[in-house]
Amino acid sequence: MNNNTYTADNIQALEGMEHVRLRPSMYIGDVGFRGLHHLVYEVVDNSIDEALAGYCDTIDVTILEGNSVRVSDNGRGIPVDLHKKEGKSALEVVMTKIGAGGKFDKDTYKVSGGLHGVGVSCVNALSNHLSAEIFKHGKSFIQEYSKGKPLYDVKETGLSETNGTTVTFTPDDTIFQETVFNFSTLANRLRELAYLNKGITITLTDEREIDAEGNAKVEVFHSEGGLREFVEFIDGSREALMENVIFMEGERDNIPVEVAMRYNTSYNENLHSYVNNINTHEGGTHLTGFRRALTRTLKKYAEDNFNLAKEKVEIVGDDFREGLTAIISVKVMEPQFEGQTKTKLGNSEVSSAVDKIVAEMLTNFLEENPNEAKIIVDKVILAAKARQAAKKAREMVQRKNPMGGSGLPGKLADCSSRNPEESELFLVEGDSAGGTAKQGRDRHFQAILPLRGKILNVEKAMAHRVLDNEEIKNIYTALGVTIGTEEDSKALNIAKLRYHKVVIMTDADVDGSHIATLILTFFFRYMKELIENGHIFIATPPLYLVKKGAKQEYAWNDKEREELTKLFSADGKGVTIQRYKGLGEMNAEQLWDTTLNPAYRTLRRITIDSATEADRVFSMLMGDDVPPRREFIEQNAHYAKIDV
């Protein structure tokens, strides 16, 4: 009998909500940590759209016991009257039809937030239970759903003196791998939204965390200064070159544009761009327009007002962006997203609109503020000189043939495979651990590069010093990437990346954490593309070996150690516990079994959930300002294990 027959009976015609449940990643990105939190963002986006339309100024987000989430706003409330075409309440249509909603009616919403545009119906489809309460026309209404299907028709529940919408949902634990909401992850996004939409008050409450007085954990986000305050927040740990943030706002071709920027003493370019409140971390036409206007306007001002000839240096676009923190936010009626993660704006008309507004307003600022203008030009000239010095250093780290043996770092133990997709590079702390790793690895696909001590803190170093650093040169050379194009001397070309997994493997102690942070800072500032493309990982070696007689098991944290101790011996007797303070304390076989073997190891992929928050945290952790760093460590102390 042939079981491979393929007939019309094999074709499934899935309705929208069924398709969401079958292929959730197509709608929300993934079913892990990111996708879980994306559910909240989709609901909040509806409230933000009401705010953009001028009908809402208060949004309350609450994490409830049991990891449900409630989102309330004081907008107009989703319509509950009959939808003539569908023959049911408009609320039910919005909540159960993919693509239904007021966002497609230009008279209802001029612009709307959200990247995927799937809206709250997608959240409904992926929730065990969802309730929508509507307050409008002096009355209150409710409808509840299970896995996207209504439990009953919309019903009136009483009177109401307010307008608004409240959505409460519980994610479906049969779909999501992670169902515990993270307060700080939600806080970062809601803070971002408050800065991007000045005047709105957004409150985040966590009812899972109650203090001694019986109060839940609460954070309130509100900004009257908008992007100005956003720049000040991101730059909190950097030394500003000017007191005030430069702010530009205008509208061209029905495209509202806001830009805030300020120079600091760092050597990094920190540009963050948004379209309809979505962080376009791949950039796009709005960022192109900003860069073009910035370069053209500053160059003209410098040439007209300063004797650049005596400086004997050619100034290029890069030089105008060194030490610059800027946020570009545009609202586009019909955005066209492209790029690998659909976060690159493609609308050509936006480039011209941003260019014109920035050029005009920046010209006015420079002419009206000659002191600040001189500070900027001096910074640009210094950057140009440093770039020339970095050019020689950059040429020294280019690896001509990443697959060949010539020019490889002397300490690199390469793998025999020439297939980058299966090849892994482990950056290992110190020669001792490096030696063990070389013995314990699978030589076919695993390469080892030992690093000597702590690498340079790139947060506080000029580019030529970074590229002069021996350990950093070894990383560039081993990876086979190249730096610099005619348009952007700092651009990274990863087309010839030698290893598609780059794993940071350090000791499980304070020094090891510091070294890992230094390496991550380097990747974030100089090789962000590797993080964005999912190539950077952190290894997780075990902390303990628990033994009794012939039995032994590894433990990765204190809880596992305690559980194993109880399992091995009901009285805590005869059990020995070995604490691994360094990778070098393991023999090659143990390191392979626990940390290198793909069948048993755990690798943590490094991702960037919020580019602005990552920017702020790296500058704070690796900068000179001690108080905010101390506060951060104290707040996150329960994550850290300090060896005494």
Neighbouring residues of 550: CB distance < 8 A, sequence distance ≥ 6: none
Whether 507 is catalytic is yes
57, 144, 219, 509: which is the annotated catalytic residue?
509
Sign of the dihedral defined by the CA atoms of residues 394, 400, 406, 409, in that order: positive
- Give yes or no: 511 in active site: yes
SS3 93: helix
Residue 222 half-sphere exposure toward CB, CA atoms < 13 A: 10
Enter the tokens of residue 334: 């019909």
Using the 8-state DSSP alphabet, how is residue 31 labeled? S
Q: Are 43 and 123 in contact (CB under 8 A)?
A: yes
Written as six digits, the tokens of 165 are 């919408």
Pair 88, 251: CB distance under 8 Å: no
User: In 78-215, where does DSSP find H-type helix?
Assistant: 90-96, 120-125, 183-196
> What six digits make up the tokens of 119?
């809206």
Q: Which of 235, 258, 355, 429 is catalytic?
A: 429
**Active-site hit among 178, 422, 511, 593:** 511
DSSP state of 107: T
- From the number of C-beta atoms within 10 Å of its C-beta (0-12, 13-18, 19+), residue 536 rates as buried
Residue 429 designated active-site: yes
What is the rounded distance in angstroms from the CA atom of residue 248 to the CA atom of residue 228?
A: 10
Give residue for tokens 């991550």: 520
Q: CA end-to-end span of the chain, whole Å?
A: 70
Token pair listed for 422: 């299966």
- Asked if residues 462 and 390 have their Cβ atoms less than 8 Å apart, the reply is yes
Helical spans, DSSP H, in 235-368: 285-305, 348-368
DSSP secondary structure letters along 391-459: HHHHHHH--S-TTSSTT--TT-B--S---TTT-EEEEEEHHHHHHHHHHHS-TTTEEEEEE-SSPP-GG
As a whole number of angstroms, the distance between CA 533 and CA 33 comes to: 17
Please give the C-alpha separations between residue 620 and each of 64, 237, 625, 631, 632, in angstroms, as whole numbers: 32, 5, 7, 10, 9
Q: Which DSSP string do the residues of 101-130 spell out, in sequence order? A: SGGG-TTT-SS---SS---HHHHHHTEEEE
Q: Which residue has the tokens 């695993």?
A: 446
239 is catalytic: no
Helix (H) or strand (E) holding 379: helix 370-397
Name the active-site residue from 42, 49, 507, 532.
507
Contact predicate 261/223, CB 8 Å: no
Report the distance separating Cα 32 and Cα 171, nearest Å: 12
Q: Which residues, at least 6 apart from 295, have a Cβ–Cβ distance to it below 8 Å?
A: 317, 320
Q: Which residues are catalytic?
A: 429, 507, 509, 511
